Structure 1
Amino acid sequence: MNDRDKKPTAERFLWLLSFAAALSFAAWQTLLNNFAVERAAFTGVEIGILQSLREVPGFLAFTTVFVLLVLREQTFAVLAIAVLGIGVALTGFFPQEYAFYATTVLMSVGFHYFFTVQKSLVLQWVSVERTPLTLGRISAARSYAAICAFAVIWVGIELWAIDYRWLYLLAGAGTVALAVWCWRAFPRFSHAVPQHKHLVMRRRYWLYYALTFMSGARRQIFIVFAGFLMVEKFGFSASDIAALFLINHLINTWAAPRIGRFVERWGERSALSIEYLGLIVIFTSYAFVESAWWAAGLFVLDHLLFAMAIAIESYFKKIADPQDMASTAGVSFTINHIAAVVIPVVFGVIWLQSHAAVFLLGAAMAAGSLALARRVPADPGPEAVAVPIANRLRSRRVAETTSLAREVPPAD
């Protein structure tokens, strides 16, 4: 098999595993609140503990590099998918508090380690030119899986009254089956460049780290507070929220590959600038919106802009040393999850005083992200990782001087 044939096959492997991962996680997330209340008798305290425990493996994603001392990345990816599926399949059978925590952590270990390794494999296997499009297609695969999960759960509960344990089992078993099939059906792909087997943090990647951290903070504003606004202020029911997520994923299946092509054509700086300009408007609008329909529209637009974040990984692909991909994928996942602990706690206290303040702070964070995005070079590369501030100031002074020269008439 030549390189031209192998690359699309590797991309299909990643696409299928992403579908498998999202299938289980979407089912787990959709059923979580109802299962926790109706079967596990959880209150807000236990749910908070469970969500905190779920984020712990994200913090530990940097340990991926140590696992790779004994496992190939491709093997690790399939194993992580299987662990995710097993954790979800067992969830419905163990509604007791500590058992529920245990299955959640098991599921989360598979989930976070898979997406860490997936990021590394995309950056290694896919060419620079195809990276944005491939990331867009993988995002669409996750949306396809979520739609399938939503449909099966709705039919299972509304028409057949299937118990939660069997829905969890079905989703988890489907994920495990896809993992086994991918293990058997695809060849073992080789890496063009051997990867570092130790942690790597380089000063010249600072802009990538900063963008990754801010992306994690933005994710928490959407997941925690935008959804809570829908319920608390506008009285959206669980089915209303599910319908919004279904709309989001339907749109994403169409939009994500096209956003990938946009990034490929117009560059990472343009894509990220559009995302953060849009977020400034959306977060500011969240602060003052009084119409449920307008709020729902903002929620959909907010989710749509998520796909623009593929430009961060595309940017890193262009600036990074090839042997840094695996280690940096783990480090960046950990950086992304720092906000998962800080933002909900700190902003939750602010929320008690003012809903609007939370979203206005989110708009300020988006403005900071926009400033970072403008530091991304128009044509990133190993020698052009960030636009120096001095260069931008110099360019501005040249532009002002040129403009002034045009306004001053020539002397007679």
Structure 2
Amino acid sequence: MVKNLFKSREALLYIMTISMVFSTSAWMSLLNNFAIEAASFDGSQIGILQSLREIPGFLAFTVVIVIMFIAQQRLAYISMMLLGLGVILTGYFPNALGLYITTVIMSVGFHYLETLNQSLSLQWLSKAKAPIVLGKITAAKSFTSLIVFVLIYIMMKYYSVEYKYVYVFFGGVTFITGVLIWIFFEHFKDDVVQEKRIVLKKEYWLFYILTLFAGARRQIFIVFAAFLLVEKFGVDIHNMVALMFINAVLNIYFAPAIGKFISKFGERTTLRFEYLGLVIVFVSYAFVTNEYVAFGLYIIDHLLFSMAIALKTYFQKIADPKDIASASAVSFTINHIAAVFLPFVLGILWLYSSSLVFVIGASIAVLSFILSFLVPKNPMQGFETTLKEKKRLAV
């Protein structure tokens, strides 16, 4: 049975995803408190750090160049080890320069691994199976986060483990896992030979724009929603971890349900629900004065992330199979265009008005909601948008 496990593509996707989440969840959950308590960061510095974190994401298109020399699967293993190394080093540099450097190391590994994970998922999973499996993988990510939050809570509350040793533990597990799966897992051949050059296709324009907006609003959530809780409401590390624990528990049940929802009602309906929900959440963030309401918004915001599966499966349905690796890399770059400068710009704006930051997020969600009406009910290669369908009917 163990031997068969090492021959399973789906099992490998689960292991790579779980390992990635194990270290990144720890890094993210500790970041704001570590940056404020150990490195005395303010809003502008956290903005700079997050902008630096996203530069490797912006450069994700370089994956296409690297896979000319290293197979996607092996590159994923290398990326996993680099991610683990970056997290291991984080706690040893509690100052601005140190955090900036270790963040970039961690981020290169994370963004390459995330890009390759998406590419391999869309290549290895059938179109009918993809929403269900991706929903289950998202649930597995949440369960992993749950384990991480419990471990951090126990380590820091009951044993007063220092930040640096917490980072070493979680980063070390990811690094070692990368080594082990490289040794034991079968190397799978590509079913379709992938395009090994950077390709931007006009047929995918709607996917590109929605991906750009998704990256922008994701940054506002990741950087400033958590920072709002810490700075405005004084939430400590234990309560932040408890809040993330709740998010993880809910997502274990919510994510697979979203996968089934996408299979039943389609990407168009799912994306509309996601974007409309985001408009409401961001407007509420802008004016919230009660910490428990802010907790509720943070939880809802996090749950809406599960609906982003629909954007991936929409792309899978409209894409030429040989474009998946290249387009996945390009989409990650597009996703991070706003991410490179937005945290820095909004970090400066935050010093004057935190509410305006979330109003901007709501505006982005409104634009996404409007564009979602161009997603066909049954997207496919050749009929990527409703505009294409209208042209076909006209003919």
TM-score (norm 2): 0.91
**Structure 2 contact 279–366 (Cα < 8 Å) conserved:** yes
The equivalent residue for 2:280 is 281
Q: Secondary structure at the match of 2:381?
A: coil
The equivalent residue for 2:63 is 64
Q: Secondary structure at the match of 2:336?
A: helix
Q: Secondary structure at the match of 2:386?
A: coil
User: Cα distance, 1:245 vs. partner?
Assistant: 1.6
The equivalent residue for 1:377 is 376
Q: State the distance in 2 between where 1:198 and 1:390 align.
A: 29
Deviations, residues 285-319 of structure 1 (Å, cap 9, x unaligned): 33333433222212211111111011011001000
Closer/same/farther in 2, CA of residues 101 and 258 from structure 1, 3 Å limit: same
Structure 1 position 318 matched with structure 2 position 317: yes
Closer/same/farther in 2, CA of residues 161 and 104 from structure 1, 3 Å limit: same
**Structure 1 contact 21–175 (Cα < 8 Å) conserved:** yes
Structure 1 position 198 matched with structure 2 position 207: no
Closer/same/farther in 2, CA of residues 92 and 361 from structure 1, 3 Å limit: closer
Q: State the distance in 1 between where 2:187 and 2:75 align.
A: 12
Closer/same/farther in 2, CA of residues 345 and 83 from structure 1, 3 Å limit: closer
Q: Secondary structure at the match of 1:191?
A: coil
Structure 1 position 255 matched with structure 2 position 250: no
Higher relative contact order (CA 8 A, sep 6+): 2
Q: How does 1:94-133 map to 2 (within 5 A)?
A: 94-95=93-94, 97-133=96-132
Structure 1 position 84 matched with structure 2 position 86: no
Aligned residues: 390
User: Cα distance, 1:180 vs. partner?
Assistant: 2.4
User: Cα distance, 1:32 vs. partner?
Assistant: 2.7
Closer/same/farther in 2, CA of residues 21 and 318 from structure 1, 3 Å limit: same
Q: State the distance in 1 between where 2:352 and 2:96 align.
A: 31
Q: State the distance in 2 between where 1:93 and 1:294 align.
A: 36
Q: How does 1:5-20 map to 2 (within 5 A)?
A: 9-20=8-19
Q: State the distance in 2 between where 1:102 and 1:233 align.
A: 28
Closer/same/farther in 2, CA of residues 297 and 142 from structure 1, 3 Å limit: same
Identity of aligned pairs, percent? 46
Q: State the distance in 1 between where 2:65 and 2:386 align.
A: 34
The equivalent residue for 1:93 is 92
Q: Secondary structure at the match of 2:59?
A: helix
User: Cα distance, 1:31 vs. partner?
Assistant: 2.7
Closer/same/farther in 2, CA of residues 183 and 146 from structure 1, 3 Å limit: same
**Structure 1 contact 7–125 (Cα < 8 Å) conserved:** no
Q: Which structure has the greater CA radius of gyration?
A: 1
The equivalent residue for 1:388 is 387
User: Cα distance, 1:41 vs. partner?
Assistant: 5.7
The equivalent residue for 2:135 is 136
Q: How does 1:200-239 map to 2 (within 5 A)?
A: 200-239=199-238
Closer/same/farther in 2, CA of residues 96 and 215 from structure 1, 3 Å limit: closer
The equivalent residue for 1:172 is 171
Letter in 1 for 2:212: F
Deviations, residues 265-303 of structure 1 (Å, cap 9, x unaligned): 110001001111111222223333343322221221111
Deviations, residues 101-130 of structure 1 (Å, cap 9, x unaligned): 332221111101000001110111110011
User: Cα distance, 1:389 vs. partner?
Assistant: 8.6
The equivalent residue for 1:332 is 331
The equivalent residue for 1:50 is 49
Q: State the distance in 2 between where 1:322 and 1:301 align.
A: 34
Deviations, residues 212-264 of structure 1 (Å, cap 9, x unaligned): 01111111221233223334444433333222222111111121111111111
- Structure 2, unmatched stretches of 5+, are none
The equivalent residue for 1:402 is none
Q: State the distance in 1 between where 2:37 and 2:282 align.
A: 34
Range with bigger deviation, 328-337 or 92-101:
92-101
**Structure 2 contact 149–242 (Cα < 8 Å) conserved:** no
**Structure 2 contact 383–389 (Cα < 8 Å) conserved:** no
TM-score (norm 1): 0.87
Letter in 2 for 1:386: T
Q: Secondary structure at the match of 1:384?
A: coil
Closer/same/farther in 2, CA of residues 44 and 281 from structure 1, 3 Å limit: closer
Letter in 2 for 1:337: H
Closer/same/farther in 2, CA of residues 377 and 126 from structure 1, 3 Å limit: same
Q: State the distance in 1 between where 2:160 and 2:5 align.
A: 45
Closer/same/farther in 2, CA of residues 46 and 281 from structure 1, 3 Å limit: closer
Q: Secondary structure at the match of 2:8?
A: helix
**Structure 1 contact 7–126 (Cα < 8 Å) conserved:** no
Runs of 4+ in 1 over 6 A off after TM superposition: 5-8
User: Cα distance, 1:332 vs. partner?
Assistant: 0.5
